[in-house]
Structure 1
Amino acid sequence: MTNRFDTPNAPLRAEPRPYAGTQNVQSVSATPGGLIRSTLLAAGAAGAILVLFWLPAEYGIDPTGVGALTGLTEMGEIKQQLAAEAEADAKAAAAPIAASAAGDAVPALAAPAPEILARLDRIDAQLAAISAVIGAPPGLTSPEVVAAAAAEPAPDAAAAPASDPVEAAVAETAVPEPAAPEWRDEVSYTLNPGEGIEVKLAMEEGQTARFFWTANGNVVNFDLHGDGSGQNISYEQGRAVPEATGTLTAAFTGNHGWFWRNRTDVPVTVTLRTGGQYAEIKAP
């Protein structure tokens, strides 16, 4: 007689039941080919960002031309030029101090390579054009200096009639030169293309000196700064500036003055006139 409670000899096993929520879910296997493809896509995207945006914005390198269309190339070139100017100015300022401490003669500034001068000239021309349209970056030049640089006529415009609107604009923005008897010292230097020079006034903290300098019909880059008493300060900077006038108040006891560099392709003569409170003028 068979017991109705008898079970087969096979072990009991619960049959899995499909869950309705997972019937349409498909897994994706992480195959080596899929990982390599994802890695290559990510690397391609990073490379595109590097070439299209980062290189033009940081270094002015634009192999695709996208940086020129978006304005990033000009930004990168400006950054590189400012860095080069700052490094050159720092070396020019440190060389006389180191030479004086060692008792050696101050070495003459070495002229840059012609290809570097040509590139910097192109960058200066682009910056001058940008400044004429949208204005110079804040803090680099005063409004009067930017207006004078933007309205400066071409070299052959000197013979134009007095009614020329460009000459009229220059006449309106030009600062009148003070009378000669007010000046205490006057020095002039001729800078060859790419050459720079530094002239400073020995001043006590709080002393004020008057100044007027001119590139005599041309333009120069300049940096008005000071150092001494363990401190350094930059009062004003400018590019492609024909002349400037004003007062200089010493922020601390030390040497305060100008560094000029000729970025044109012709010799430029810079004339500086000073007066007011200072012990002496320090010039090469």
Structure 2
Amino acid sequence: MFNTPLPTVNELPSTRRLLRSTVIAILVAAGLLVTVVMPSEYAIDPTGVGRTLGLTQMGELKLILAQEALAEAAAPQATAPAPAPTSTSTPAPVQQFAQVQPIDKPVTKPVTAPAPALKTNQMSVTLKPGEGTEIKLEMLKGKTVSYEWTATGGLVNYDTHGEPYNGEKGYFHSYNKGKQVKSNKGEFTALFDGTHGWFWRNRSNKDVTISLNTTGDYLSVKQ
């Protein structure tokens, strides 16, 4: 059995050295918190380093996914309508009436209101590397819009979504979304009164131009 000699007082680190090591560890941890943890987890980037490293975009995507999960969990479940009661009463006897000659009257056709004119817009926007932007349509519930957009110069991430007027902060409904896409087209019907449209993010290392065409029953366009 070997006995390990205990270190002498001179071999132990001094109080000054321990304090210096503690301060250095605290500064390193604070730097990692501000430049790595906060941008990647909460999209908070006070120094700008997180956006340069792509960590802030990761945090923004995490927040969007978390908001979508909360919105889906809070959505009310549809319930099936109750079946209509079946009548078991005996039908009343048919009464016989003398035949009466109809009197000819002028036929009037119902007046129908003209269909509202659909709006059509063509817009384009150029995104620099890492830049994002939105184009929104003000729409009323039940109104429909058809759209088609194309990205020139590279691929983009997108999210087609809507936000209700006076809705809860951070709430939105996503109609569809995708990553590294060159184009997309289709139509959607507004689920509520509010702003409905698109968010794009350029993840490439060069400028990308997005051209958008819309046709539908909407009030205005905002960018």
Give the shorter-chain TM-score range: 0.3 to 0.5
Higher helix fraction (1 or 2): 1
Higher strand fraction (1 or 2): 2
- Structure of higher RCO (CA pairs closer than 8 Å, 6+ residues apart): 2
TM-score by length of 1: 0.38
